[in-house]
Amino acid sequence: MTDSESNYQTVSHTARKRFGQNFLQDASVIYNILRAIGPSSGDHLVEIGPGQAALTKPLIEQMAKDSSLKLLEIDRDLASQLTLQFAHDERVSIQIGDALDFDFSTLREKTDKPLRVFGNLPYNISTPLIFHLLEQATANPAANVISDMHFMLQREVVDRMAAPPGSKTYGRLSIMTQYYCQVEPLFDVPPEAFTPQPKVMSAIVRLLPYKDLPLKADQPKALDRIVRAAFSQRRKTIRNGLKGLISAEELEAINIDPGARAETLDIATFVNIANSLK
């Protein structure tokens, strides 16, 4: 074993359910994820939940000397082990914290390039975390906080993110993710790629935040409010789902059928509704 390999030994740790920990262990999957990320010179990388560093170690070996890597880990025991493990590499720093509350723009302020965020996200917080990251990535488009994101998620979540109008999985997550980002499902990852094994299939997705939104809501919060209300009860028509926000007459005035169901409406239609609110 070389000195470099000894520095990057996998730490011993028992997975904790409260953190939704399922540690990646399949070398071929790790290789495919790294190929999808494609680290290049000058990157400012951020890994959410590095865990036992199964993805971290080979990524570091591919990183250029002028790149940096921030590891955001909520588990203090793992964070301590990671600190010791990578203490010799000045390109790597460890941050203890919850990604759901973390302000990623503070990392962008210290760099001259946007962040590249990736990670094996805990399934129990994946949807709220995606919304948090979308807010972080797009709160100030001119700041260009995040250039791209590569995440391991439950395949069901990836399917929902990429779902087109009219499909059973199309909903709030589909609309808000596609409003802000290009969504590219990449490949599936089976349960046996992890320890402990999850009970569901996983998938890798690439999210590319738009620098210039193809559709522009005057008030993004109004768009989110409309979409949330429309899908709160999927079987309702939008006349009933949006009752109290916009009337049937107002919907007809912008050429939208009040009897339509939310899952049949495309993103442009929801933006149109949001922009018509008084």
Across the range 5-24, mean pLDDT stands at 50
Q: Is residue 139 domain-shared with residue 36, that is, in the same domain?
A: yes
Domain's final residue, options 209, 230, 255: 209
Q: Are residues 227 and 195 in the same domain?
A: no
Does one domain contain both 81 and 113? yes
Tokens of 84: 């010791």
Considering the domain architecture, whether residues 36 and 143 belong to the same structural domain is answered as yes
DSSP secondary structure letters along the chain: --HHHHHTPPPP----GGGT--EE--HHHHHHHHHHH---TT-EEEEE--TT-TTHHHHHHH--TT-EEEEEES-HHHHHHHHHHTTT-TTEEEEES-TTT--THHHHTT-SS-EEEEEE--GGGHHHHHHHHHHHHHSSGGG--EEEEEEEEEHHHHHHHHPPTTSTT-SHHHHHHHHHEEEEEEEEE-GGGEESPPSS-EEEEEEEE-SS-SS--S-HHHHHHHHHHHTSSTTSBHHHHTTTTS-HHHHHHTT--TT-BGGG--HHHHHHHHHH--
Residues 229, 191: one domain?
A: no
CATH of the domain at 82: 3.40.50.150
pLDDT tens-digit series, residues 232-252: 988 889 999 999 999 999 999
Containing structural domain, residue 203: 3-209
Tell me, what's the pLDDT at 17?
43
- Summary mean pLDDT of the chain: 88
pLDDT at position 7 is 44
Higher pLDDT, 238 or 12: 238
The CATH number that applies at residue 239 is 1.10.8.100
7 and 38, same structural domain? yes
Specify whether 179 is located in the same domain as 66. Answer: yes
Residue 245 is assigned to a structural domain of this protein: yes
Task: Say how many domains are in the chain.
Answer: 2
Tell me, yes or no, whether 143 lies in a domain.
Answer: yes
Quick one: 155 and 262 in the same domain?
no
Q: Is residue 244 one of the residues assigned to a domain?
A: yes
Q: Does the residue 14 lie in any domain?
A: yes
Q: What's the confidence (pLDDT) of residue 141?
A: 64
Per-residue confidence (pLDDT) for residue 107, from 0 to 100: 86
In a domain, 215, yes or no: no
| Confidence at 88, pLDDT banded by 50, 70, 90 | very high
- Predicted local distance difference test score (pLDDT) of residue 143: 67
Are 70 and 107 found together in one domain?
A: yes
The structure's pTM equals 0.89
125, pLDDT greater than 50: yes
Residue 120 lies in a domain: yes
pLDDT digits (tens, 9 = 90+) for 16-56: 444 445 778 899 999 999 999 999 999 999 999 998 899 99
pLDDT score of 122 more than 90: no
Instruction: Compute the average pLDDT of residues 143-170.
Output: 94
Do 256 and 188 lie in a common domain? no
**C-alpha to C-alpha distance for 241 and 202, rounded to whole angstroms:** 32
Asked if 45 and 115 touch (Cβ cutoff 8 Å), the reply is yes
One domain for residues 205 and 224: no
Tell me if 53 is assigned to some domain.
yes
- The predicted-structure confidence for 249-262, as pLDDT tens digits, reads as follows 999 999 999 999 99
Show which of 167, 190, 209 is a domain's final residue.
Answer: 209
Among 190, 209, 228, the domain boundary falls at 209
Paired residues of 146 in beta bridges: 115
CA nearest to 272, candidates 249, 248, 255, 258? 255
Q: What is the pLDDT of residue 106?
A: 86
User: Do residue 51 and residue 118 come from a single domain?
Assistant: yes
Triad 148, 153, 154: Cα angle to 5°:
155
In a domain, 214, yes or no: no
Report in angstroms the alpha-carbon separations of 145 from 46, 73, 117, 221, 272. Answer: 12, 20, 10, 19, 27
